[in-house]
Structure formats: structure tokens, C-alpha cells
Chain A
Amino acid sequence: MSAASKEYIGVASIRGPLLVVEGTTDIGYDEMVEIIGPDGGRRIGRVLSVSRKAATVEVFEGTSGLTIRSTGVRFFGRPLTVPVSLEMLGRVFDGLGRPIDGGPEPLARERRDINGSPINPTARAYPSEFIQTGISAIDGMNTLVRGQKLPIFSGSGLPHNVLAAQIASQAKIARREEFCIVFAAMGIVRDVATYFQLRFEESGALENSVLFLNLAEDPSTERIATPRMALTVAEYLAFEAGKHVLVIMTDMTNYCEALREVSSAREEVPARRGFPGYMYSDLASIYERCGRIRGMKGSITQMPILTMPNDDITHPVPDLTGYITEGQIVLSRELHLKNIYPPIDVLPSLSRLMKDGIGEGRTRADHPDIASQLYASFARVREVRSLASVIGEEELSAVDKSYLRFGEEFETGFVAQEAVEDRNIDTTLDIGWNVASILPKTELFRVTEQEIRQHYRVPERGV
């Protein structure tokens, strides 16, 4: 790649977020581009495809106001980079990494390619350290571990932001000075961004946070760069500065829609619902920038948030995400309407790395079995409830009635808690056993007899 930058005046065509510049020479694929509008305003872009005759450029801030004749295009001879340094902690940037908190550009000795490089699977350390979030439905049933990528699948109007902020402030991931948050906002409204800033401030995490904000009013294609900026900084903080980084990215659905916009402007053959065929690979290039590396102190734990259009979990955005991430926390509108916070629907939720983060020496010896028992029993509750809606509750057998009571108590006693309530893992598991004790012992197949002797409560004591 040639190091010197090259400038061209005038473009051949403008279509959606794309520009075609003809007569280019020595331009590299994926190179960073600066576009100077007729008014002198500067925008950032990158080369999407290049031939001997022309280069196609994606303009992150959109093409509105640009003209064919007087648009200036400068090619930098290097990919889009972001400065990385500890000075970025406590700062707020826009979606392309420019400070918007009134402060100066952070001092940085180094700039890094925002695309990063894949972690060699042989260099990874397997994530197995329990993170206590203080939320029973997560700690007890869908345990988060350090270095995991665990998204929140939500819907519009559900309290995913409150939950994410609660997790960020309660997560006992490490001692304070080693812990930091990288927050990437993509197309969210200003109020939500402000909410996160305030909550980080309250919990004292703000000075250990780096915020990248692409808001709803900001250009949509800029969102394609935002998570990559954030993750490049996160990789520096984790694997150079040795910090445990929690990356919150919201809302991934907006990100994917920006991807679709660019793809349709390029007239690419779409896969499902107009989203490009490479969306899986593209999302993987974001979500896989996460984990632990052998011999390095820090870690990156990702918590992406996405809203499922029409609450549809089979929509391409949650679907492809679920195939890449290590589980998902699914929020339910039904629980939300019942006034249960957090409205976590435990049955479709999953933490793939849970098995290695729980049990003897990590959480508690009975944790795997009781979690499995609660799942199995709550799955049965679903069946009993639908039966009760047909034949009426009175007609149910005594065992089935105990399932109904169990289901009720599980939702209101175990899943539900206050938005500031921080339960430790012992409390969570004890509540779990209390709830399971509503069922007769003969219904508990997933726990051992010894565990029953140790933890099963006599029903009279109540919950």
C-alpha cells in the first residue's frame, strides 16, 4: 500500500452512501478516504472495491450535499484507524472517534486499524471465571463468565437499557481499577445515551469508561465503523493495559440496517429480508473480538443489545447473532406486562459457557443440578398452564397444581427483583431451592438425593 495520500477532485457518480471515483491509481482495497464537500466540510469513508479504472467509496457520514464536480476525495494509503491510549478513559467520542465532550484529541502514541486481526484459536484461554451480576435469572440460570459474548435480545419498549446499566454497575468482574467499560451506541436516541452516562456516573464507572456515540440523528452508515472503533480500543485496554473490559454495544439491529443500506446501494444479491449474504461473517468480525488470551491479564466481555423487530427471534439479526454469540438473554413482553423486572424469559435464554463457570469451587456444588432442575420444571409449567387454560385450574391434578404455584413463585420470587437489588450467588441459589421445594420431591429428577437432603425445604416454611 502506498503511504502518501492522493487527492482527486470530482466524482463519476453518487448513489446512496456510495461514491465512484474514476481515474484513480495506486488505491488499495479498504483504504481510508476523506471526502471534502463543496462547503469545505470533511467526511470520512473507505474503499469498498477498487479496479484499475475506478474506486467505489462508502461515505460514513452520508453523501447528502455532495456534488459530482466539486467533491474532493483524498485517499490516505492506510486503513481507517483509531488512536488508542489510557487517556481515552472517561472520554466521549462520536461514532467515528472524534471527541464530542469538549476536550482535546486524546494523546496517543499509537493508532490502530479498526478492523483488528482474528485471535488465533490456539492463543485463546477458555473463559471460565464467574462474573456475579447480582441478577438471579442470569447468575443462577444463564451464568456470565469473563471473556464471554452474551447479547440481550429485546424488543422495543422493553427495559434492556435498565438491565444493561444494572449489569454494568453490579458486575463483580474484578477490582475497580482493573475494570472498565467501553460503550458503543449505534443509532440510539439521545435520551438513552444520557441515561447510560448518568448510570455510569452514579456507579462511579464513568471515569473508567470510553463512550462512542452514534445517535439516531447521526448518519447511519457511520454506524458501520462505530463498533469496530470501540472494539479496537477495548482490545488495547484488555490486551495491552491488562484491564477487564465490558463492552456494551447497542443497538445491533441499527448496525445491521446500515449494513443493508450499503449492500442495497451496491445492488448486491440479498439473502434473507434484504440483508446481505455476508452478514454472518460481518457480525462475526465484531462479536469474535472478545475473550481471553493465554498469558495476558485482561479480558473482553461483550454484551451487545439488539431489538428484535416485531419480537421475532427468527429475524436475521437475532438469528445470526445467536449463531455467533455464546448464548443470549431473551426479554419477554409477557413478563414485562406482568410487571416483572427484569423480564428475562429463561427458557429461550442460554449461556453456553455457564457449565465451565459454575459448580464446586466456582459458585456452589449444587448449582449445575438445581439450575437444570429449575429449567426442566419451568418448561413443564408452560405445558400445565396451557392445559389449565383449557380445562380450568380446578380440574388439574395435585401435582399439576403444584407446578402452577411453582411457576408463579419462580417468576415473582426468583426472576423478579429490584433494579438496584444486588443478590449474591448464595442468595440466588437459596431462592432457587425455596422455589423448587414447592414441588414434591418425586418431581425433582435433575438433582441428586443428597442435594435434596441438603437443600430441599419443607414446604410449610414457605418461600
Chain B
Amino acid sequence: MSSRAGSIEAVDGPVVTVADAQGISIAELVLVGDDHLLGEVIRLEGNTATVQVYENTGGLEPGEPVYGTGGPLSVELGPGIIGNIFDGLQRPLEVIETRTGAFVHRGVSIPPLDRQRQWLFHPSVRPGEEIHRGSVLGSVFESDLIEHRLLVPVRLHMGGVSRTMLAERVAAVTPGEHTVGDYVASVDVDHRETRLQMMQRWPVRHARPYRQRLLPDVPLITGQRVIDTFFPIAKGGTAAIPGGFGTGKTVTQHQLAKWSDADIVVYIGCGERGNEMTEVLIDFPMLVDPRSGKPLMQRTVLIANTSNMPVAAREASMYTGVTLAEYYRDMGYDVAVMADSTSRWAEALREIAGRLEELPAEEGFPAYLPSRLAEFYERAGRVVTLGGMNGSVTIVGAVSPPGGNFSEPVTQNTLRFVRCFWALDKSLAAARHFPAINWIESYSEYLDSVEGWWSKNVFNDWRGLRNRAMGVLQEENHLQQIVKLVGADALPDEQRLVLETARMLREGFLQQNAMDPIDTYTTPQKQVAMLRSMMRFYERGREIVARGAPVIRLRELSIVAHLIRMKNEVPNDRLTEIDDIGLALDRQLNELESEYL
């Protein structure tokens, strides 16, 4: 439904000024120039419109036409999203490759969802039944893992009028094979039959509605020990991973995308490396979800707007990703969004703001940066959906601070809106201690809310165990200041035991090798078992040292190497081996103790 809306007045990089702009609204999607490049209206002044163009504007000339599309930038919601890779505007990159080859050219117009593919529709409502916005019409199997529940649209557009779907009666349903464009049901609205497609659209910059917000009190289990045990994130929570280059933001994001127990993962590669997206594309179909035994790709959606793709589309990619996540949340799923990296998105804002000659706030970033970040992270949450199901969107955002310095505007403003902070540390990364999450600087505000889940499902004194281990690490951090001045040998033995235990915790627990087949993922049960045996070494060791045994004797116990290596030597399903290590530990400690009785 495009109509001529003006002509190009000026071109400056991705920003195009349109003269004689008529009949277009702010935030409307427009087609720019003879090649119909996609753009969005970001400013209207009198007859002049300013448009940010999502594609390379090279060759665009003043005088070329601009067309309105009548609606804001929207995504298509329906089966065919899972397992796909889209660019920031939801264009399917694999289809684009078959059209234009290995390089992406501009002006390609391909619908996001496959219009030919048939899906077997199983209705769950019958004619005469009452339905309302967000309730389930029926489902199709989108992948082996995901039952795609087709939802009644929030609003229905009928002949130029839009109304909210509150209590309507189903007139007919059509089970069987359908494409996304087919009508699969109809409702009786004011005695007029209105048909519903399998697919619907939603404007990306608007959060999808839900019935009620719930407290996030179920942890998102990631299998990453430093996160799950020390700085847990809840389903429906928000977290930020800031770190300079080379500290492992992307590897951590990949690990979370692989192993977290979300039903669906939306991975947004926003202004990052092309090869990283390729890695996901190659790895995920081969990796198997530990819970379902199916390839991880069958629950993953990728949004790839790499650093060399146009900058304005990078700005849109975050919204595209989170809107897809909300759609699956509304089906009653737990969805995790990995946004890598939010700094590149902020830089896209800065670039556009600069071209608009807006007055900058800090470091050239626009003054509305904090409010945009807040809007984005507020789209996370655990909710009761309009259809009455429980679902959640968890957002984990990577931040790339210039020079690795956390005092810069994007990191600081992100910290105001997220409740979990995993600080990546350059010196840990340099020692190849990964994940390089600094345990002194990081925090999680979800500890209290997920404690109940851990005590009920894994270990009743989980919080106490975690806090005692954290205590050792904090004391070690304090002692290290002294060690730097006088050396460890000058410390009394009980303090050297703290250093020894902390070393064990660092090497054997905090450090986790993403490449190791066993170590890459640790179940909550194994995490607790590991930590208990290490803390047993510390607590029994303290008694023995108090009796006069030198720390060196404890350190030389042959079991110590096993305590450190159980992370990659004991598989998740053979936890009795950790019990055996525990027994051997007790035996060796008893022997040692008997010498000093």
C-alpha cells in the first residue's frame, strides 16, 4: 500500500531529508528512492521529513521519490521464525543468499516468513466458543521442540477501523495444511465474519501487552557455575555483561545461548563480527540440547546485523529481536534474549543523532540514551500472558565499554536498569581464567528471589554454602593486598589456608572451559556437590590447621588435584564419583588429623 509521499531533498550518510512530505506520519516505514530502500521517518517539520535509511545510500540523488507504506516498522509473527537467521529488519538472510549470492546487496525485498511452506494446523477452539486477544486458536509444530501456538491478535483491523479483541465468538476454523498467509479461522465481530490469518504483524517499537507481571523467582539455569551459584539470573530478569575486547563477552553469550534452560533463545548479533554469527550457524545445529536431546538450532532464532551492515538497521535489530521474544513469551514460553552488543546499538543512536545535529550529552551520545535503554530492558519480565499462561523474557545484554572502562555512559546507564551485573575482568582474561567474571565486582539482585527454588529443588542450605564460599573469596581478595607486599609465606597458616581454598575455588569452580565436553555445562546438582566438597576441605582443614598442622601438608594431599579436576573429570550424570572423592578427602584429612591429636 505504498503511495508517493515526497521527494529527496538531501542525503547525508544514512540520513535522508524529504521535501514536500505529505501524508506520512512519524515512525512510518517509507521506501526511499528508485531502488525502494527501506527507511523510517524520525522527524517531521512542516513539509520536511527526516528519514533514517536502513540500507546503503550510495548513489541516492536529490529529487528521487519517497513512498509511504502506511504503517510503522513491524515484524511478521507466525511459524517459520524458529531456526531462522534474519537481518535487523527481519529479512531472511538464507533466502537473500539464494537470490543475491554471497554478498548482501541493497533494495532486496523478500518477506520474512516463507509464503510457500505448509504448516499442519491443529485448532484448539471450536465454532461458537468465545475467544479474546492473546488466547490460543490452535497450534502448529514449528520444530521438533517448539509447538507454535497461534494467538488471537490483540487488535483487529477491519476496513480502516481497529478494535481490541475482547470477547468474540469463533465462527469457523479450518484445520489442515496452510501457509502463513492462509486464513485459518474466522470470528463473528458485530455480526460480520472476520477472517484471521496464521500470521500477524506487530510494530517493533511497542512492547506487546500482557495481563499481569509476576515476580521473577525461578532461576534461569545456565550451567555456568559462576553465574548459577554466585550471581544467578532469574527467568524474566535482566543482566549486563560489560567487558573490554578479548574478555569473553561473546563466548559467555554463546554459552548462555547454548545451555540455559530457556525454551527459546533469540540471539541478536548487533554490530558485531560476521564470523561469530557463522560460528553460531555452524555450531548450533550440531549441538544437542541436554534436556531434549534435539539440536539447539530448533529452539534458536538469530538476528544478524553485523558491524559492516548499515548502521540504522543495527538500531532496529534490538527491537526486532525483543519483539519476536515477546511473541513466544505470549505463547507461554520462557525466552532468553542475548543482545551482543548493546554498545553498538547505542553507537548507532549516536551516529544518527550526530547527523541530525542534535545537542549531545555525554561523549557525543544523545540525551535520550538512558530512556531508550530503560525502554529496552523493561521489555523483559515474567508475566501472565493475555491468554492466561505464564511466560518470560530474560534479557542479557553485552556492553563494550571503550578502553574497558566501566565509567562510560552506556555501561553506567545500563547498570541503572539491569539487576544483574557480570563484570568481565581484563587481568583474569589475560591469565586465561574464563569466564572472566570478576567475583568481587559482580552482583545479582536475584539472590533472594531464587533462593527458595534452590533450597527446594537442589540443596536446602544453598544460600549458606554460597555465602561461605563467597566469604573465602572475599577474604582472599583482602589477603592478596598483603601478599603483594610481604609474600604468602609471611602469613599465618589459617590465612594461608584461605589462599589455598580460594585457589581451589578459582581453578576448580569459577573457571570453566567452554571447549571441554564435560566442563562446558554443569548441572545445579553437580555445582552444589563440587562446592560442598571444596568447602569441606576448607572447614575441616581449618580445624586441622588449628591443631598445628602446616598448610603445606593439606596442600600436598593427593586428593587436592581431584577436587580441582572433578569439573572436567566427573560427568554430570555420575555424581557418585564426587561422593567418592568426598570420602577419600575425609579419609586423608582424618589421617592427617590423627598425626596432630
Contact = CB atoms under 8 A, between A and B. Distances in A.
Q: Could you say which interface size class chain A belongs to? A: 35 or more
Contact of B307 (A115, A284, A294, A313): A284
Contact of A445 (B10, B486, B507): B507
Interface stretch (A195-203, A217-225, A318-326): A318-326
B175 interface: no
B246 A124 contact: no
A293 B274 contact: no
Given A291-B274, A314-B402, A319-B403, A386 B61 contact: no
A387 B556 CA distance: 24
A278 to B, nearest CB: 5
Contacts of A383: 484
Interface string B229-252: 000000000000000111000000
Contacts of A271: 350, 363-364
Given A117-B104, A121-B85, A347-B431, A29 B486 contact: no
Contacts of B363: 271-272
A270 B58 contact: no
B313 to A, nearest CB: 11
A324 B341 CA distance: 12
A120 B102 contact: yes
A285 interface: yes
B61 A27 contact: yes
B311 A278 contact: yes
A269 interface: yes
B59 A1 contact: yes
Contacts of B57: 29-30
Contacts, number: 226
Nearest to A441: B561
Contact of B85 (A78, A122, A350, A376): A122
Contacts of A348: 246, 426, 430
A123 B484 contact: no
A310 interface: no
Contacts of B246: 322, 327-328, 348, 350, 352
Contact of A28 (B60, B400, B402, B485): B60
Contacts of B60: 28-29
Interface stretch (B69-77, B135-143, B191-199, B275-283): B275-283
A355 B403 CA distance: 25
Centre residue among A1, A122, A296 by max chain B CB count within 10 A? A122
Nearest to B569: A448
A277 B350 contact: yes
Contact of B404 (A28, A314, A395): A314
A116 interface: yes
B58 A118 contact: no
Contacts of B59: 1, 28-31, 78-79
Interface string B475-501: 000000001111111000000000000
Given A268-B354, A355-B515, 13 more contacts: A28-B11, A29-B57, A29-B59, A30-B58, A120-B103, A121-B281, A271-B364, A284-B307, A284-B308, A322-B245, A375-B432, A400-B487, A442-B561
Interface of B: 9-13, 17, 19, 56-63, 85, 93-94, 96-97, 100-105, 244-246, 269, 271, 273-275, 277-279, 281-282, 304, 306-309, 311, 344, 347, 350-351, 353-354, 357, 360, 363-364, 400, 402-405, 426-427, 429-433, 483-489, 507, 515, 556, 561, 564-565
Closest 7 CB pairs of A and B: A314-B403, A379-B431, A51-B10, A284-B307, A322-B245, A288-B308, A123-B102
